[in-house]
Structure 1
Amino acid sequence: MPSLPPARPRILYVTDLAYQARGRRYCDEDIDLTSRLRADFDLALCHPLDAAGLMDAFDAVVVRNSGPVLGYQTEYDAFRERATDAGTRVYNQLSGRADMAGKQYLLDLSAVGFPVIPTVDRIEDLHRLPRADRYVVKPKLGADSIGLQIVPADRLPALADGSVLVQPCVDFSYEVSFYFVDHDFQYALYAPDTGQRWRLETYEPTAADLEFAQRFVDWNTIDHGIQRVDACRAPDGELLLVELEDLNPYLSLEVLDDTRRDAFVAALKASLRRFVGA
């Protein structure tokens, strides 16, 4: 009797194909990426609100372009709790302590001397920030620039109440993002025009750049998943962390050439196979 072929891992891929993001088409990225993953996995797509009810039938849940969880925080918290209680494999792992857990990490990292844009959350700590004409104020639980304000110094006393982060408005040269699968660097992209955050080009990082980005990925508590280290080049040439996206980072795969895109997909497939033990 002929033997049956080995069962392929079953992946529940969580995405909101209808989410409208400024300057990006989330749906296109996930349509392309899932078409590539299907070569190695049995895969189904679902909306983030349906994930908790469907995940028991799959070997792993992959959370990708699911949009900010602020619009469905209660349901997301219930999904996390159920997945944790059931031991469900969720990719990215739910142990992340960067954007996955809010923006508190920017305060924590700033306080211990990591190269982060100086950050405080209370008016009595404003003296710790470099003096600036304008300041960035954003919610600790914000995402995708929701609630972000740029304000003059005289407005800070009414805003810095512990629920927001306050940072000097840095006159940076450009923003650059470093993309990792597990702890391994994959590629980097940057926005040479500071007024167009999502008009990206390939960036060739130096050894010092990679050391900077790797430090944050190694600090985080995710062994299986995709992370994006967003940084800005300060006027003195130093890179400063803007955010460490460890929940569902948009990957800008459409910017990559075929060689880089294929290499990323191969790394992602290998990571997922390790994650499910296949």
Structure 2
Amino acid sequence: METQLKALAMKKVALLISDNLLPDGPETRDDRFEYVEEVGTLTPALAAEGIELVSIRWRDAAAKAAEFDAMLPLMVWDYFEGNEAAFLSEMAKAEQTTKLFNNFKVLKWNANKSYLDELEASGAPVIRTVTVDRVTEANVTKAFDKLGTDMLVIKPQVGGGAWRQVLYKKGDPFPSKDQLPPDAALIQDFLPSVQTEGEFSFLYFGGAFSHAVLKQAKPGDYRIQSLYGGTETPYTPTSDERESARSVLDSLDFTPLYARVDLLRGRDGRLRLIELEMLEPYLYLPHAKVGNDGLNKGAVMFAKALAKRLGR
């Protein structure tokens, strides 16, 4: 009887995934193993809080919303490939029926990286960035002058995983149209520290710090994603580094269920914000510590924060 009551009391939560994470599909991502690892780590931690995790396609979210107590768009790794409007529409419809974490307002705001301008205005330590409606040789030339650099990173305002991202050195042939962002873009100062030191990711669940990793590109590259040969290692940040990351979250007027703060070392030695991921960040849970109960401590923190929001 006790087991039956416990089963009835279980909350059911959907992990929304993109089609390119489905097994054996024609466009299955080479980094699908990250999805498998994350599900394997989150599932037992959530179960310990009375939450069942079920993976479904994000394109089915609205149709299946009534079956779930909440939905997590943590693995929608194609929303930026021309799918932004369809994705946001699907999330808006799903939120009319069930809870969405992070909520639709946050997802819509975070989907477009022009949010960096707002964060900088709020006092967050943002990397120097020029936002443009589209990339042209003229505005890239102006960006070189404005940022005082001879190397730029040009990336889509709506994008991820280095998709349609270009590293461009002053004087080189201008990149072709199919290499550049298709629409609005960010033009950022290229920081050499991404190759000499690496990029940092700080993970927060329910507003509390969980763990951090140092992500490093393979020799000769600057992209830190595993798709391009990048690697990650656990990292213990200094108090100053923790403060830099915390200042980003403190610039918000809300507390997200989950957030990943990605930073690079600036030319002044301070950490600078590259992105604040609150839509579909990989959580790097394999690099969080494991407790005496055998559960991943990062996953446990996530599960407890989610359970609190579900009223468990």
- TM bracket, shorter-chain basis: 0.7 to 0.9
CA distance in 2, matches of 1:74, 1:160: 17
Residue pair 1:189, 1:202 contacting (<8 A) in 2 also: yes
2:227 is matched with which residue? none
Out of 169, 187, 200, the position equivalent to 1:176 is 200
Deviations 1:68-126 (A, max 9, x none): 30243343122222134x25211122232787331111233345653111001242963
Change (3 A) 1:138 1:215: same
1:106 is matched with which residue? 116
Out of 207, 225, 241, the position equivalent to 2:273 is 241
CA distance in 2, matches of 1:33, 1:273: 13
Residue pair 2:76, 2:280 contacting (<8 A) in 1 also: yes
Q: Aligned residue pairs: how many?
A: 276
CA distance in 2, matches of 1:254, 1:66: 20
For the residue of structure 2 that corresponds to 1:64, the secondary structure is: strand
1:25 aligns with 2:34: yes
For the residue of structure 2 that corresponds to 1:33, the secondary structure is: helix
Change (3 A) 1:8 1:97: closer
The within-5 A match list for 1:55-134 is: 55-71=65-81, 72-84=83-95, 86=96, 88-96=98-106, 100-111=110-121, 113-122=123-132, 123=139, 126=143, 129-134=146-151
TM-score by length of 1: 0.85
Deviations 1:130-152 (A, max 9, x none): 32222111111112111101113
For the residue of structure 1 that corresponds to 2:104, the secondary structure is: coil
CA distance in 2, matches of 1:91, 1:213: 21
1:232 is matched with which residue? 264
Question: Once structures 1 and 2 are overlaid, which stretch shifts more, 31-40 or 248-257?
Answer: 31-40
Q: Which runs of 5+ in 2 are unaligned?
A: 23-27, 133-138, 225-229
Change (3 A) 1:152 1:273: same
CA distance in 2, matches of 1:25, 1:145: 17
CA distance in 2, matches of 1:136, 1:169: 6
Report the CA distance between 1:255 and its aligned residue. Answer: 2.9
TM-score by length of 2: 0.76
CA distance in 1, matches of 2:93, 2:108: 21
Identity between Structure 1 and Structure 2 (%): 25
1:165 is matched with which residue? 186
Report the CA distance between 1:66 and its aligned residue. Answer: 2.3
CA distance in 2, matches of 1:24, 1:235: 35
CA distance in 2, matches of 1:193, 1:162: 27
Residue pair 2:155, 2:181 contacting (<8 A) in 1 also: no
Following superposition, which runs of at least 4 residues in structure 1 exceed 4 angstroms of deviation? 1-6, 21-24, 158-162, 192-196
Change (3 A) 1:104 1:183: same
1:273 is matched with which residue? 307
Report the CA distance between 1:64 and its aligned residue. Answer: 1.8
1:147 aligns with 2:147: no
CA distance in 2, matches of 1:99, 1:22: 26
Change (3 A) 1:255 1:270: closer
Out of 228, 240, 244, the position equivalent to 1:208 is 240
2:46 is matched with which residue? 37
The AA in structure 1 aligned to 2:88 is D
CA distance in 2, matches of 1:119, 1:26: 31
The AA in structure 1 aligned to 2:235 is Y
Report the CA distance between 1:229 and its aligned residue. Answer: 0.3
Report the CA distance between 1:256 and its aligned residue. Answer: 3.3
